[in-house]
Structure formats: C-alpha cells, structure tokens
Amino acid sequence: MIVAGIGCRSGVDAAEVEAALAAALLEHRATPSQLGLIAIPGSKAQESGIVAAAAARNIPIVLIAQQAMEAVSEFAITRSSRAMAVMNVNSVAETAALAGAGSDARLLGPRVAVGPVTCALAEGAIPV
C-alpha cells in the first residue's frame, strides 16, 4: 500500500491538495489505485482542503502524532529548515508518509511541492 504524506500551510483548498497528490503520483510512477491512505500531522486534523481531497478520492486520513514523525525524521530525504523550525522534522510530508506506512516503510522519492502543499509517497505493508 502507498501512503501519501501531506504537508501544507493553513487554509489550503482541496484543489491545491489534489494537485500535489496527482503530481506526486505522476512523479513517482504510482497509480491512484495504489494510494490507500493519506497521513497528516495531528495538528492538521481540521484542514478542510485535505479532508475534502481525501473524501473526493474516497481515501481515509490518519493523523500522525508529533512523536511518531520525529522518530522517522532521520529517514527523510528532504531537509527543510522551515519544517525543522515549525515541526521539528526534516520534512513534514515525508515523515507523515513514513510514519503512516508503518515500520517497514520506504519513501518512493523526495516530496513533491505544488504551491503551498507538499506530498510524499511511502510504501509499506502495515499502516498505523
């Protein structure tokens, strides 16, 4: 199963989230049918754009605890100073994807940024 980790600024809309999801799937040669879960930081639980994009794709969202994201931060490919300053992780999207995909997770590549949204894809067999 592929898990999409999403990082974004507050107030993004569903079209912006969808654009990042589509770009990441294309970039990493994954099909929409392989996408089984969207993972986001717990602090983004009320982001209506993410919720709407997940609902449009009929994909569940899992909220990732800060501690779980920090635990996998060293495995992120991207090193974002903003993500480190705000969330204490190297990449919000990448760490959310890794944590959401389980202990055997691996990133398909670096996160993809489209406007104010980043999306990373991780593959794993055991979701949170």
DSSP state of 76: -
Rounded-to-integer distance, Cα 16 and Cα 25, Å: 14
Q: In total, how many domains does the chain have? A: 1
* Within-domain flag for 80: yes
Q: What is the pLDDT along the chain (128 residues), one digit of tens a residue?
A: 899 999 999 999 999 999 999 999 999 999 999 999 999 999 999 999 999 999 999 999 999 999 999 999 999 999 999 999 999 999 999 999 999 999 889 999 999 999 999 999 999 875 44
Torsion sign (Cα): 19, 22, 28, 29 = negative
Q: What is the CATH number of the domain that holds 14?
A: 3.30.420.180
Is 8 within 8 Å of 87 (Cβ atoms)? no
pLDDT at 126 (0 to 100): 54
pTM reported for the whole predicted model? 0.94
Q: Hey, what are 82's tokens?
A: 């903003």
Per-residue pLDDT, 124: 87
Q: Examine residue 128 and state whether it is found in any structural domain, yes or no.
A: no
Can you tell me the distance from the alpha carbon of 57 to that of 68, in angstroms, rounded to the nearest whole number? 25
Identify the pLDDT of residue 34: 94
Q: Work out the angle between the directed axes of helices 14-27 and 48-57 (0-180°, nearest 10).
A: 60
Q: Is residue 19 a contact partner of residue 112, using CB atoms and an 8 Å limit? A: no
Give me the pLDDT at residue 127, please: 47
Domain assignment present for residue 69? The answer is yes
- The reply to whether 78 falls in a domain is yes
φ, ψ dihedrals at 61, nearest 5°: -105, 140
Is 100 inside a domain boundary? yes
Which domain covers residue 51, as residue numbers?
2-123
Phi, psi of 3, rounded to the nearest 5 degrees = -115, 130
Say if 37 falls within a structural domain: yes
